[in-house]
Structure 1
Amino acid sequence: MFPKVSVVIPVYNCPYVDEAIQSALDQTYENVEIIVVDDGSTMYEDKIAPFKDRVNYHRKANGGTASALNYGVRHASGQYVAWLSSDDLFHPDKIDRQLSFMLARDAWVSYTNYDLVNAQNETIKTFGGRCYATTIEFYRAFLTSVPVHGCTVMAKKELFTHVGYFNEHLLYTQDYEMWMRIVLSRFDFDYLHESLTRFRWHGGNGTILYQAEMEMEVRYIRETFNPTLLKWFESS
């Protein structure tokens, strides 16, 4: 009746990781497994140490976010998996609200909206994600943007046996590529119109530091998947 949800937190030299872990521990839903995957950090390990008796902690050689996510998913014992970046936060009822939403629909994967906060955790904007009027409008958005924020997603662990794991060759846009594969595998991406995650915008965001590299990966993803996506729209 109360499925286990595994929360995977990949971390690499993140000064906010203690806040992320605490937000996962503070969930109102009780059957939660927290998996912290330390991707070869050389700093801020002291921020993880106080939590090691309350989480499943794994340390691995540095391989990037995709490799850390895959490591966490493979070690997850939950029927459902959620991803929390080490600099973001879950609202206390995030797991409870989203899991209830998914169970009511027998959904394989879902996403929600999010709030945008600054380095001091002050709210910059509520409901920072775009809302789409129709399902087709949402799917068309994948052609030119990334309409799903990774830390708002929850999925059945079984989904990965159908669509595969995150692409470890992509260092910055592994989420975009994964969502493309889910969409093209014809799994419904159900949307819960609630803001249940706090996305932290700060000077260390990959979007700021690695913009040129991200643009190259995005170009590759669109060249790979957009033709198939467009054919799907034409035939539907």
Structure 2
Amino acid sequence: MIENLVSIIMPSYNTEKYIFESIESVIAQTYKNWELLIIDDCSEDLTIQIIQKYLKVYPNIFLIQLEKNSGAAVSRNKGIEKANGEYIAFLDSDDLWEENKLEIQINFMKENNCAFSFTEYMEIDEMGNDLGILIKVPVKAITYRSYLLTNPIGCLTAVYSVKKLGKVYMPLIRKRQDAALWLRILNTGKKAYPIKENLAKYRIRKSSISSNKINLIKYQWALYRKIEKLSLIESIFYLSSTIIVKLFKLKEKRMK
């Protein structure tokens, strides 16, 4: 583990339209002590060629190519396995960071001696247009139970400390593997600390799994029942709470 180094885990699969912007948002960071691990899941478009152009210029950008298409959980876990940093951060190959994201977040974690943090973020459309929707963070730090109620952590904003937690991996499930990872961390008694600043942009794509709300509910249910082993009553309660919060509390129109 290299002290103060941030290892950024970026899974990629057929994102030739967007990965350039995602990589550039990492390069633009005011916090310069980072490595970018791009794990490609057998892309069939020009994603690899785009990545290779960066490999020739930036010695802290690395490409890991999976031998067979395996999904986001396997990709992210491979990145975590190869990471050298004191901190693990996540950014998908179609999402973006504000240039001061890492600087603000790492300074916050050091000043508050916390192992796990997350920030607010905005939603953008496929073309990068601002949808005017801010995903807010709660006021208080998140515990295991409060996370089950609200699911407030965006994967593109999360950072955890390897020094304090060790390397924590995602379960090999189709979707919501990031939520399962947060629950693994929180179930140790640690808390996730919110940073009330908008530091990232999450791209809503029509073709993505996360754009299908019905499927998301199914995956959330599977997370509660199969991964967290919650009872039927608990699962109904937490799923209902999550839906209500997502609809009415964590999203708001940004004031123009």
Say yes or no: TM over 0.5: yes
Whether the aligned pair in 1 keeps the contact of 2:138 and 2:152 (CA below 8 Å) is no
Query: Given residue 104 of structure 1, which amino acid in structure 2 is its aligned partner?
Result: E
The offset of 1:142, in angstroms, is 3.0
Query: Given residue 52 of structure 2, which amino acid in structure 1 is its aligned partner?
Result: A
Query: Which one of the candidate residues 150, 158, 165 is aligned to 1:153?
Result: 158
The offset of 1:217, in angstroms, is 2.8
- Distance in 1 (CA, whole Å) between partners of 2:81 and 2:145 is 31
Q: Kindly report which structure 2 residues correspond to 1:156-167, keeping only aligned pairs within 5 A, or say none.
A: 156-158=161-163, 161=166, 164-167=168-171
- Indicate the SS of the match to 2:195: strand
Query: Given residue 6 of structure 1, which amino acid in structure 2 is its aligned partner?
Result: S
Q: Give per-residue Cα distances to partners, 1:134-176, cap 9 Å, x unaligned.
A: 447x7555334421101100111245637x41011x1111011
Structure 2 equivalent of residue 221 of structure 1 = 223
Structure 2 equivalent of residue 233 of structure 1 = none
The offset of 1:129, in angstroms, is 1.6
Query: Which one of the candidate residues 95, 102, 106 is aligned to 1:95?
Result: 102
Query: Which one of the candidate residues 109, 129, 135 is aligned to 1:129?
Result: 135
- Distance in 2 (CA, whole Å) between partners of 1:36 and 1:91 is 19
Q: Kindly report which structure 2 residues correspond to 1:107-122, keeping only aligned pairs within 5 A, or say none.
A: 107-122=114-129
User: Please, what TM-score do these two structures have when normalized by structure 1?
Assistant: 0.85
- Distance in 2 (CA, whole Å) between partners of 1:62 and 1:160 is 29
Q: Would you say 1:106 and 2:113 are equivalent positions?
A: yes
- Distance in 2 (CA, whole Å) between partners of 1:19 and 1:184 is 35
Q: Would you say 1:171 and 2:177 are equivalent positions?
A: no
RMSD of aligned Cα (Å):
2.3
Q: Kindly report which structure 2 residues correspond to 1:1-236, keeping only aligned pairs within 5 A, or say none.
A: 3-14=4-15, 15-45=17-47, 46-53=49-56, 54=58, 55-60=61-66, 61-125=68-132, 128-135=134-141, 140-158=145-163, 161=166, 164-168=168-172, 170-208=173-211, 211-212=214-215, 214-223=216-225, 224-226=228-230
Segments of structure 1 that go 5 or more residues without pairing to the other structure are 231-236
Segments of structure 2 that go 5 or more residues without pairing to the other structure are 235-256
- Distance in 1 (CA, whole Å) between partners of 2:83 and 2:149 is 32
- Distance in 2 (CA, whole Å) between partners of 1:152 and 1:225 is 27
- Indicate the SS of the match to 1:7: strand
Query: Given residue 72 of structure 2, which amino acid in structure 1 is its aligned partner?
Result: T
- Distance in 2 (CA, whole Å) between partners of 1:28 and 1:43 is 31
The offset of 1:8, in angstroms, is 1.1
- Distance in 2 (CA, whole Å) between partners of 1:103 and 1:27 is 18
Whether the aligned pair in 1 keeps the contact of 2:147 and 2:183 (CA below 8 Å) is yes
- Distance in 2 (CA, whole Å) between partners of 1:27 and 1:190 is 21
Size of the alignment, in residue pairs?
223
- Distance in 1 (CA, whole Å) between partners of 2:41 and 2:96 is 19
Percent of aligned pairs with the same amino acid: 24
- Distance in 1 (CA, whole Å) between partners of 2:213 and 2:11 is 18
The offset of 1:63, in angstroms, is 1.1
- Distance in 2 (CA, whole Å) between partners of 1:38 and 1:82 is 17
The 3 A distance-change label for structure 1 pair 166 and 160 is farther
Q: Give per-residue Cα distances to partners, 1:62-114, cap 9 Å, x unaligned.
A: 21111111111111111111100111001111111100000101111100000
- Indicate the SS of the match to 1:215: helix
Q: Give per-residue Cα distances to partners, 1:13-40, cap 9 Å, x unaligned.
A: 1121111111111111111111111111
Whether the aligned pair in 1 keeps the contact of 2:13 and 2:40 (CA below 8 Å) is yes
- Indicate the SS of the match to 2:196: strand
User: Please, what TM-score do these two structures have when normalized by structure 2?
Assistant: 0.79
Whether the aligned pair in 2 keeps the contact of 1:6 and 1:78 (CA below 8 Å) is yes
Structure 1 equivalent of residue 250 of structure 2 = none
- Distance in 1 (CA, whole Å) between partners of 2:204 and 2:11 is 17
